[in-house]
Structures are given as structure tokens and as C-alpha cells.
Amino acid sequence: MAVPEEIMQGFEKPSWYQRLTVLDWGWALLVLVSTGYAYSRYQSFMDGYEIGILIGSGLSLVLMGWYWKPFRLYSIAVAVLSLLAISIYGTDLQIGEQNFFLKYILSSQSAIMWMSALFVLATVTYFGALFSGNDFVGRVASAMTWSAAVMGMVGLMVRWRESYLIDHEIGHIPVSNLYEVFILFSLITGLMYLFYEARYKSRALGGFVLLVISAAVAFLLWYAFDRGAHEIQPLVPALQSYWMKIHVPANFVGYGAFALAAMVGVVYLIRLRGERRNPVGFAATRLPSTAQLDDLMYKSIALGFAFFTIATVLGAMWAAEAWGGYWSWDPKETWALIVWLNYAAWLHMRFTKGWRGAPMAWWAVIGLFITLFAFLGVNMFLSGLHSYGQL
Amino acid sequence: MATQSEQRPPKGKGFSAHLTQFLGSMNLAISLLVALGIASVIGTVLKQNEAFSNYIIKFGPFWHEIFMALGLYDVYIASWFLFILVFLMISTSVCVLRNSPLMLRDMRHFRLNVQEKSLRAFHHVQEESFEEAPDEVMQRARDLMKGQGFRVREKKAEGHSLLVGMRGGWSRLGYVFTHVGIIVILIGGTLDSKIPVRVAQMMGQVVAEHRDIPANEVPDKSRLTADNPSFRGNVNIPEGKSANIVFLGLDDGYLVQSLPFEVTVKDFRVEHYATGQPKSFESDLVLRDLETDEVIEQTIAVNHPLVYENFAIYQASFGDGGTKLDLNLWSLNPELDRPLTMTGSVFKDYVVESQVYGPMNLEITDFRLFNIEPVVNSEGQTEQKNIGPSFNFKLRNEAGIAKEYTNYMNPVDQGGRFFYISGVRDSPSEQFRYLNIPQDREGGLKRFMTYLAYLHDEARVGQIAREATIQAAVGAQMSQEVQDQISQTMQRLIMLFAQGGYDAILDDVSRNMPEDKQEAAAEAFIKVLHSGTQAVYLHMLKDLEVGEPDERDWQFYDDAISAVSVLPYYGSPYYLKLDGFEHIQASGLQITRSPGKDVVYFGSFLLIIGVFMMFYIAHQRFWVWITPMDQGSHVLFAGTSNRNPLDFDTLFTRLNKALFGSLNKSA
Ligand code: HEM
């Protein structure tokens, strides 16, 4: 009896390493060689923890590339552009003013401006695609979002180098102030969205999610032009720690995921309203189904919660080293706890009480405001150890 | 989706069953999470652990009493807050105790005993009849499940055979890890908390000290011995000095915690970036164990503490360690054109005599080597700049009322003109108001002080006023009587101005003139005053042999008049100019002993592992129920997952297709 091939496929599920292709191994090799090169070249400047972080980053990059294939191309694009910029710079920051590529495209300031412009354009384009139903426009929007994420990351990478060019002493990883972390936030949220866009094969959410990113970009631009926040500042002593390199990015995976969940919540509410008003109308047909939205909302809150847990624990460990106590009820810490408790309550409601629907969507949206306060409001309105008032 | 926590207590059980039911209930858990969140919000919005006097000013005595009674000034140690935490701990423990056995059993349990009926009730279920014999179907199902990485159990029973595939049981263990992790963290936190001290305080064994007295005079009731297992305290140690205690804040006061070792600060350093911002804070420490005499030398910095046994010493802050200051006291009601000199140290008190104010207590409170302030540069842009050393002091009069001052050592550039700056305020809650004294050409205060002395010198002012009036009268027709009147007015106005600024003149006008003439009179008086002060200024320049005044001299005059006009509100008989100093710093150390730290870290580890297991492993089961038929078999395929229903839909459909598609449907 002949069994059709495609049905037999269901019988054997190759284990994950059997599914890796030559390309995957090539990717791993590329990352490992690059990591090895970075290690051999900068070994003498790094302490044990930093070497650990370097190796950890290399491994994560390999795994990320295996898990999400387009991420490889993304990383390569970022690496090529960043290295190009860095090599043009050489050891002279002034070249940034003269060289065409640096001045208009690749210097961190320009790259970040490109990122900002592309994110805003992509937002509009996604909405255009949604309303016109034109697939090509949608693909353009995705391409713009990818490019924005590339430029944002290049901006950060180059900024990292630029900080060392200003002065060896001043050099540091660009996750040390609100300006820099807003860039990180924009690009992480963008990437997370792109991941789910491919997963769910739908671009309908793009405009909505990118609205949050555009808002972040607006803040970023205001902050740069009005407050001169883009100036690279030296690190205060409390921030001179390898902990910063892992604590901050982990936090922003959390923030990004919560922002994503909130915007999915918004779409959920729109869709629900659309279904009630006009079951064959625009909102009820063009937007993803509530089941899908609910699923995505849950997944991003779970992802955010997991990373936020890690980030908070890392923060506590850092605090133990810098301030002498892993928990001081400092406003920033406390607000992290509040955010965390909020989402813990959300997860319990959903998972064990089976709550679904509009209330959970509203809650996810409100969650973003709580998160926003923890992320921004605390810095603006409350003082504490995190503002480094004493030292 | 089975929710274990929602199971009803078995009927007929009594109070304790209901109690555990309540304690382990989800509603309670969620309420507690939310309550904890709200309480934490209060703690961040209301600034914690400030001096009570600040709260009284902010909220008034009435609300202060209420807030204090509610423990809102130290929310995180308030009994109701601890109550919530303890409740959460109990609730989570009950939840874990009740659910874990179920979860752990469920994790390994294949559920071979299901009823066909209940499988039919599943959300994910398909059935069909096929030509193949039961054994053949069983073989297929086994291949399918094993191929997908499921563990498989089979059962042959009367009238049917059953295969169960299961994977992802670890997901259930994730639940245990997560929630045990939380309990462990709470326990660790309790070990390090102030709770034992609070209990001792409530029982009257420990009393917070409020007086500002030397540590060795603090009574035993406010001391904690070196064997206290857990504390977190601070101490400032001047360079070259040692300490074997730390201070723990408690309510509005403090306790003294003895240490089993002595710490000496050999040196404290602040390093700066080229821009002036601080780059590092470091202390060279020597630690000597008081029992074993073991000595450890280490340099600590922010983010790099010294760890000794289970103590840790952190660079927490820094301050002044009693810097020695050389001061010039310029009298502001001058009889002298030379200053008095004195030397003083930060944190010491001195008495200064003054004819106008009587003896005053001078309390030098602080010294700062660097002051990074926004400064407007010559291009009109604001930039952060170091404007050099400053020191703070209080002047307390005999009634005990003090004003606080902050004086900068170096003259500060303000749009190309340099000023000696001194800030004054009546209480710490106010902003400083600044007195700006223009710097003279020689770079000092001499010209301003001389001018001030001239303005206070009644006889001299009278003489100058007369000369000035005669000069003015040369062109005009003015009787001697009018001239006298004018020169007397001028003299009187200058004296008024020197003692009380413009306000004194306006006061004078409003007291002596009819209402409708006041404005005109004030205007005229100010004119007369200014020609008088100018005349005095010119006179002084001549005495100082400065020559013909230029634009800069007139700028100086304007600035000097501004300064003189605010002097009456300065409230000090002297201007204290810092002439030199010997900088002595103190390193602010935080010393902790925190036995709960590793417990908390262990709990955190469990929590993180658990959360990932719970989120990213799904506990899935598939049942293949095979009933033999005359021709072939009837197959029922059902499945459940404890999470991610959408992903499970896809999986179920795929596996169902694979299995059913590999069989031949019976006609
Ligand atoms: C700070 C306290 C707590 C935190 C952070 C926490 C965290 C979590 C998380 C992250 C989940 C996973 C939810 C999901 O998969 O969507 C979960 C599940 C769960 N929690 Fe909690 N929890 C806490 C307290 C409690 C308490 C007090 C109870 C007892 C009533 C409880 C009972 C449960 C139950 C029954 C589940 C479902 C587990 C399963 O069926 O797999 N939790 N918890």
C-alpha cells in the first residue's frame, strides 16, 4: 500500500539539529569566526564578565539566526554597514563631518535619523496597505521596517565606536541614557513585530504597532533637538558595570513586547467593535481574527514577562553590587515590580481563570501606560538612586 | 483547560478546608498582587524616609499625623505592607502545596483510563472507520507519536485498544519552580529585612537615637551588637580615620551597629573626565579584624565592593571630612577696609562678633571642591562648567535663628563680568537667593568694600554731598538754603540706602509724602540718590588714584549699587571670603551583611527557569482509541494541550491528517 509522501512526513519529525541546513552551519561558522576575531583582538580590554558576555552574544546570535532565518541577513547588513562606517572613521571623529557617507548616511546621528524617517514612513505605508488592500504596498512597508531596524542598529553600533573616538575614557556601550534606550526600544519592538508578521503572515497589524514606535521616534527627535540628548556623555561611575550590558537590553525586550501586546490589544478592540457594528465591514474582515489577536497578545505578554523577570533579577544583582542591596525600594525598582505584578495578574486571569476578550485587551493597553510610567515617568517625576543624585 | 486551583473543597469538610481553599484561591492571589502593586505606588509617589519636619511642612500637622500612623513614610516596612507580603507568601505556599502533587502526578500520568465518552467531549477530536486491522492502526499511531517525539503508552482492553502519546510534562514542573521560586525569594527577603529590629523596637529592647552625639556616647538601647546577622548601614569616614560601627536609619533617628572589624580610609579620590563630570569614586581601605587582627588592604569603587566573610563594604557616597578653610571676614557694616582673618574646619562651630547683630554662631557645614554648573559662555550658549570650590555655613543669632549661606571661592564669569557669589536662604526648603559682588580690577573685593565703607561713613558722605551740590549749583541759580537742603537730603538718602536699600527710601517716601505726590517724589529721590552715590564713587576712585573712570569702572559702579541694594536682606554682618583650604574628604561607606542574598538569588533562578518552562513547553497528550470492527477498525483521535490553543490546532490537524491519511477509509 503506497502512502503519499507528504502524509508520511507527518510521521517523522526530525530533531532540530537535523533540520539545520548548510546555510545554518555557515551562519554559525561566520558568527563564531567573528566572535573569535573580536576576542583575539579585544581580549586585553575585557574582563572575565565581558568575555562571558561576548561569548554569550555570539551563541545567542547563532541561535537567533537558526530560529528566525531572516535575522541572519539582518545581522549581516548591520555588521557590514557598521564596519564600513567604522573603517571610514578610522581614528578621527572629524572625518564624520567631511565624508559623504558618514555625514549623510552612516554616522550614528544620520543613521538614527534614517531610522526615524523610515519608521514613520513605514507606519503610513502599512496603513496605506491596510486600506488599499494592496499587497505590494505592504511589502514596501515591511522593507521599510526592516531598513529602519537596520539603520537603528547601525546607528547604535557606530555610536558605540564614536564614543571611543571622542575619548578612550568616555567610550561605552550606547544603552546608558534615555536617548539611547529609546533607539533600542524602537528597533527591538520593530524586530519583534517583523517576527510575528512573518509568523502570522499578516501585515494588518503593522501600522498599529509602528504607531508606538513612531511615538517613540517623536520623543527621540524632540529629546535630541530640544535637549541636545544625542550628545555622547561620559558614564557616571554607577553605570560603569558589565551588568549594564545585559540588564538594559533584557529590559527592553520586555518593554518592546509589552508595547506590542498593547497595540495588539488596540487592534483587538477595533476588530471586536467592527464585528459588532458591521460583520462584513472593513474592521471585521481586514484585521486578523480575534482568536489570532488574542493568541499574539498572550504570546507577547508572556515573552515580555519572561524577559522582564530576567531583567529585574539582573537589576537586583547589579544593585547588590553597586548600591549594597539587591532591593532598596528605589522608585525605579518598585515600578519594575509594579509592572511585573500587573502582568503576573494578567497572566493568571487569563491562564487560570480563562478570562478572554475585551477586558484583557483593555488591560493590555492600560499595562502599556503602567510600563511607560516605569520606563519614562519615574525618570521624569520621581527621584531615587536611579537618577544618581548622590554620586 | 483544567484549573486545579479552582477545585471545590470536598463536601462535608470543615473550617480548615475552607480556609485553605480561601488562602490558595486565585482570586485572593490576584487581589494580593494588585494590592501589592498599589501599595508600591504609594511608596514611590510619597518620598520615603525624609525628616519628619519636611513632611509637616508639606502636608500640615493633621495629615502628617495620619500618614505617619498609616506608616506611609516607610511603606515597605509598614505592618500592613508586611501583612500583604506575608499573605502572598502564605497564599502562594498553599497554592503550591495543593497544586504541586497534582501537577507532579499529572506530569507523568498518561491517562490510560479515559472513557471513550469523555474523549468525544474534547475540543480536539476526530473519528473515522478504516479498513486496516487494529494492530495495523496501532502500529501507525505508534510510529506517528514516536516520530514526533512523544512518549507512548498502550493498553489493550476488552473491546478496544488505546494508545496515548505525551510530551512536555516539564511544563508542570515549571509551575512548581516558578511559585516555589517566589516563596524562596520572599523568605530570603525576610531574612534581610528590618523586621527583627522592628520587633525588638516594639518590645522596647531597641530605641532609636535622635540626638546628634558622638557614637561612643550612644546608649546601649540604641546599639546593636556585632553578631546581628543582617543589617545595612552607612558611615562616613574622613581620610586617615577609622571606624568600627555603622549607622542604621530607623524612623526619624538612627541605631549604632558595631562591627567585628575596623575600617580605615587611607585615601579617597574622585577622578574627573575632561568635561568635569565625575569618572570614579575610590577609597583605599584597610580592614582589620578585631578578633584575629587579620588585615586586608583593598581599593573599593562604585560597582567594586570589598567582600569580607559575609560582610560587604561599598563605596556609597562621599562628603567632607573636615576640610580646613582660611577665611577673610569682610565687614558689611564696615568700619574697616581690611578683612578679619580666621581659620576654620568644616563641621566645627565658631563665634563671630558683630556690632550690629551681636555675637553670632558660625557653623561651617560643608565644602565642595567642584561645582559643575550651567554657565553661559561668551557665545551665549549654556555649558556645564566647573566653577570651582564652595563652602556652606550657617550663621545663628542669639535667638537661635539661623540663615544658611553658600559661598563660592572664585569669581564667576557672568557674560564677561566677574562676581563673587554668595547664596543665602532661611531654611533648607527654600532656594538660595544670590548676592553678586563685582570683582575689582585687582581681582579682589577691595574696591567694593571700600565703596561700601564710604557709603556708610556719614561724615564723609555729607562732605561729598556738599561738594557735589556746589558743583551742580554753579550753572543753576540756587540759594545757599536750597543747596543745603539738597545736600542734606542727598546725605540722608545715601545713608538710608546703605542701611536699607531702595526699600528704605520708598518707605521714607510713603511715610512722609502725601499719597498723590509719592511717585514723583520717589523718582526725584532716586535721582538725587544716584547722583550722590556716583559722587561718592568718583571721590573714592580719586582716593584710590584710579584716574579717569572708563566704561568698566562705570559697569562696576552699576553692579556695586545692585549689590549694595540687596545687602540689607543678606542678613550677615560679614562677607566670608574663602582664601585657601586644605581639602580633607570623607568616604561614605555602606556596610552590609545580607544572609538572604543567596537565598533570593536561588529563588530568582528557580523563578526564571520556571517561567520559561511554563511559557515555552506545552503539556500535550494525544489519544488513539481503536475499536475493532467486522471489517477493519474504528479510530478516535483526540488531543489536549495545557497552553497555546492556536498552535495546538495546527498540530492536531497536521497529526490527524497524517494518521488518517495513511489509512484507507472503509466504504
Ligand atoms: C507573585 C506571585 C506570583 C507570580 C509572579 C506568579 C507567576 C505565574 C506565572 C508567570 C504563571 C504562568 C501563567 C501562564 O502560563 O500564562 C503562573 C501560573 C499559575 N499560577 Fe502563579 N504566580 C504567583 C502567585 C500565585 C499564587 C498565589 C497562586 C495560587 C493561587 C498561583 C497559581 C497559579 C496557577 C494555578 C497557575 C497555572 C499553572 C498551570 O496550570 O500550568 N500563582 N503563575
Q: Contact, B371 vs B390, CB < 8 A? A: yes
Dist CA B244 CA B228 (whole Å):
14
Q: Contact, A313 vs B604, CB < 8 A? A: yes
Mean pLDDT of chain B: 87
Report pLDDT for B383: 74
DSSP state of B457: -
Q: CA-based Rg of chain B, rounded to a whole angstrom?
A: 42
What interface predicted TM-score (ipTM) does this complex get? 0.91
CA distance from start to end of chain B:
36
Q: Chain A partners of B604 at a C-beta cutoff of 8 Å?
A: 313, 316
In terms of Cβ atoms closer than 10 Å to its own Cβ (0-12, 13-18, 19+), residue B418 is middle
Q: Contact, B71 vs B48, CB < 8 A? A: no
Query: CB-CB: which of B5, B278, B604 is closest to A313?
Result: B604
Dist CA A296 CA A195 (whole Å):
11
Residue of A305, A328, A271, A193 lying closest to B316 (CA atoms): A328
In a domain, A239, yes or no: yes
Grouping H, G, I as helix, E, B as strand and the rest as coil, residue B197 is helix
Cβ pair B30:A345 closer than 8 A = yes
Grouping H, G, I as helix, E, B as strand and the rest as coil, residue B10 is coil
User: Which ligand 1 atom is nearest residue B172's CA?
Assistant: 41
In a domain, A332, yes or no: yes
Q: Is residue B11 predicted with pLDDT exceeding 60?
A: no
Average confidence (pLDDT) over B494-498: 92
Q: In terms of C-beta distances under 8 Å and separation of at least 24 residues, what long-range contacts does B206-211 make, across chains too?
A: B206/B250, B206/B255, B208/B250, B208/B251, B208/B252, B208/B253, B208/B254, B208/B255, B209/B253, B209/B254, B209/B255, B209/B256, B210/B252, B210/B253
Grouping H, G, I as helix, E, B as strand and the rest as coil, residue A95 is helix
Distance from the alpha carbon of residue B95 to the mean position of ligand 1, in angstroms? 9
Q: What Å distances lie between residue B358 and A229, B355, B500, B573, CA to CA?
A: 52, 6, 18, 9
Q: Contact, A360 vs A346, CB < 8 A? A: yes
Q: How many CB atoms lie within 10 A of CB B247?
A: 18
Model pTM?
0.81
Dist CA A130 CA A122 (whole Å):
12
- Close Cβ partners of B552 (under 8 Å, ≥ 6 residues apart): B441
Report pLDDT for A2: 44
Cβ pair B44:A295 closer than 8 A = no
Lowest mean per-residue pLDDT among A21-25, A379-383, B164-168, B420-424: A379-383
Q: Contact, A297 vs A265, CB < 8 A? A: yes
Grouping H, G, I as helix, E, B as strand and the rest as coil, residue A173 is coil
Q: Is residue B555 predicted with pLDDT exceeding 60?
A: yes
Distance from the alpha carbon of residue B179 to the mean position of ligand 1, in angstroms? 7
* Residue with CA nearest ligand 1 atom 17: A348
- Close Cβ partners of B413 (under 8 Å, ≥ 6 residues apart): B375
Render pLDDT for B341-377 as a digit per residue (tens, 0 to 9). Answer: 899 999 999 998 877 778 889 999 999 888 878 777 6
Lowest mean per-residue pLDDT among A229-233, B31-35, B324-328, B333-337: B333-337
Report pLDDT for A383: 56
Q: What Å distances lie between residue B140 and A12, B148, B338, B626, CA to CA?
A: 12, 12, 109, 12
Q: Contact, A242 vs A145, CB < 8 A? A: no
Amino acid at A126: Y
Q: Is residue B8 predicted with pLDDT exceeding 90?
A: no
Domains of chain B and any CATH numbers: 113-168+621-662 (3.30.310.80), 193-321+585-594 (no CATH), 324-342+373-384+405-417+429-581 (no CATH)
User: Which ligand 1 atom is nearest residue B36's CA?
Assistant: 1
Which residue do the cell numbers 537618577 mark?
A387
Dist CA B220 CA A324 (whole Å):
26
In a domain, A202, yes or no: yes
Report pLDDT for A8: 54
Distance from the alpha carbon of residue B168 to the mean position of ligand 1, in angstroms? 18
Cβ pair B646:A291 closer than 8 A = yes
Residue of B334, B362, B365 lying closest to B349 (CA atoms): B362
Q: Chain A partners of B232 at a C-beta cutoff of 8 Å?
A: 324-325
Dist CA B665 CA A318 (whole Å):
64
Which residue do the cell numbers 527592553 mark?
A252
In a domain, A48, yes or no: no
In a domain, A51, yes or no: no
Dist CA A365 CA A370 (whole Å):
9
Dist CA B591 CA B232 (whole Å):
6
Cβ pair A10:B600 closer than 8 A = no
Grouping H, G, I as helix, E, B as strand and the rest as coil, residue B432 is coil
Dist CA B452 CA B338 (whole Å):
12
Residue B609 beta carbon below 6 angstroms from any ligand 1 atom: no
Render pLDDT for B41-65 as a digit per residue (tens, 0 to 9). Answer: 887 777 776 767 777 777 777 777 7
User: Which ligand 1 atom is nearest residue B3's CA?
Assistant: 40
Angle (nearest 5°) at CA B467 between B461 and B471 = 140
Average confidence (pLDDT) over B383-395: 87
Grouping H, G, I as helix, E, B as strand and the rest as coil, residue B26 is helix
Query: CB-CB: which of B30, B40, B657 is closest to A10?
Result: B657
pLDDT, one tens digit for every residue, chain A (391 residues) = 444 455 555 677 777 777 888 999 999 999 999 999 999 998 898 888 889 999 999 999 999 999 999 999 999 999 999 999 999 998 888 888 888 888 888 899 999 999 999 999 999 999 999 999 899 999 999 999 999 999 999 999 999 999 999 888 888 999 888 899 999 999 999 999 999 999 988 999 999 999 999 999 999 999 888 877 788 888 888 788 888 888 999 999 999 999 999 999 999 999 999 999 988 888 888 899 998 999 999 999 999 999 999 999 999 999 888 878 888 888 888 889 999 999 999 999 888 777 888 999 999 999 999 999 888 887 777 655 444 322 2
Q: Contact, B309 vs B594, CB < 8 A? A: no
**Which has more confidence, B457 or A355?**
B457
Query: CB-CB: which of B3, B301, B654 is closest to A10?
Result: B654
Report pLDDT for B336: 57
Residue of A179, A201, A190 lying closest to A150 (CA atoms): A190
Report pLDDT for B139: 92
Q: Contact, B578 vs B407, CB < 8 A? A: yes
Dist CA B527 CA B536 (whole Å):
14
Cell of B488: 542734606
Average confidence (pLDDT) over B183-206: 87
User: Which ligand 1 atom is nearest residue B611's CA?
Assistant: 10
CA distance from start to end of chain A:
79
Dist CA A314 CA A326 (whole Å):
10
Distance from the alpha carbon of residue A348 to the mean position of ligand 1, in angstroms? 6
In a domain, A24, yes or no: no
Residue A355 beta carbon below 6 angstroms from any ligand 1 atom: no
Average confidence (pLDDT) over B443-451: 90
Cell of B206: 531597641
Residue of B304, B314, B188 lying closest to A324 (CA atoms): B314
Tell me the three-class secondary structure of B40-64, residue by residue: HHHHHHCCCCCCHHHHHHHHHHHHH
Report pLDDT for B641: 93
Query: CB-CB: which of A317, A331, A391 is closest to B317?
Result: A391
In a domain, A1, yes or no: no
In terms of Cβ atoms closer than 10 Å to its own Cβ (0-12, 13-18, 19+), residue A361 is buried
Q: Is residue B4 predicted with pLDDT exceeding 50?
A: no
Q: Chain B partners of A384 at a C-beta cutoff of 8 Å?
A: 44
Cβ pair A305:B147 closer than 8 A = no
Report pLDDT for B362: 93
Dist CA B319 CA B9 (whole Å):
62
User: Which ligand 1 atom is nearest residue B91's CA?
Assistant: 27
Report pLDDT for A322: 83
Average confidence (pLDDT) over B5-20: 62
Which residue do the cell numbers 530607623 mark?
B250
Q: CA-based Rg of chain A, rounded to a whole angstrom?
A: 22
Dist CA B285 CA B262 (whole Å):
10
Amino acid at A252: F
Beta pairing, strands B253-272 & B223-224: parallel
Q: Got the DSSP string for B209-276?
A: B-S---GGGS-GGGEE-TT-S-EEEEEEEETT-EEEEEEEEETTEEEEEEEEEEEEEEEEEEEE-TTS
**Which has more confidence, B607 or B211?**
B607
Mutation pick for ligand 1 pocket among B91, B94, B95 (CB with most ligand atoms within 8 Å): B95
Q: Contact, B391 vs B366, CB < 8 A? A: yes
Dist CA B265 CA B241 (whole Å):
6
Residue B611 beta carbon below 6 angstroms from any ligand 1 atom: yes
Residue A352 beta carbon below 6 angstroms from any ligand 1 atom: yes
| Residue A312 domain boundaries | 92-386
Dist CA A177 CA B565 (whole Å):
44
Distance from the alpha carbon of residue B57 to the mean position of ligand 1, in angstroms? 44
Total domain count, chain A: 1
Distance of CA A80 to the CA centre of its chain: 20
In terms of Cβ atoms closer than 10 Å to its own Cβ (0-12, 13-18, 19+), residue A138 is buried
Q: What Å distances lie between residue A337 and B134, B186, B346, CA to CA?
A: 56, 13, 41
**Which has more confidence, B332 or A160?**
A160
Phi then psi for residue B12, to 5 deg, are 85, -5
In a domain, A38, yes or no: no
Confidence of residue B97 (pLDDT cuts 50, 70, 90): very high
Beta pairing, strands B278-289 & B295-301: antiparallel
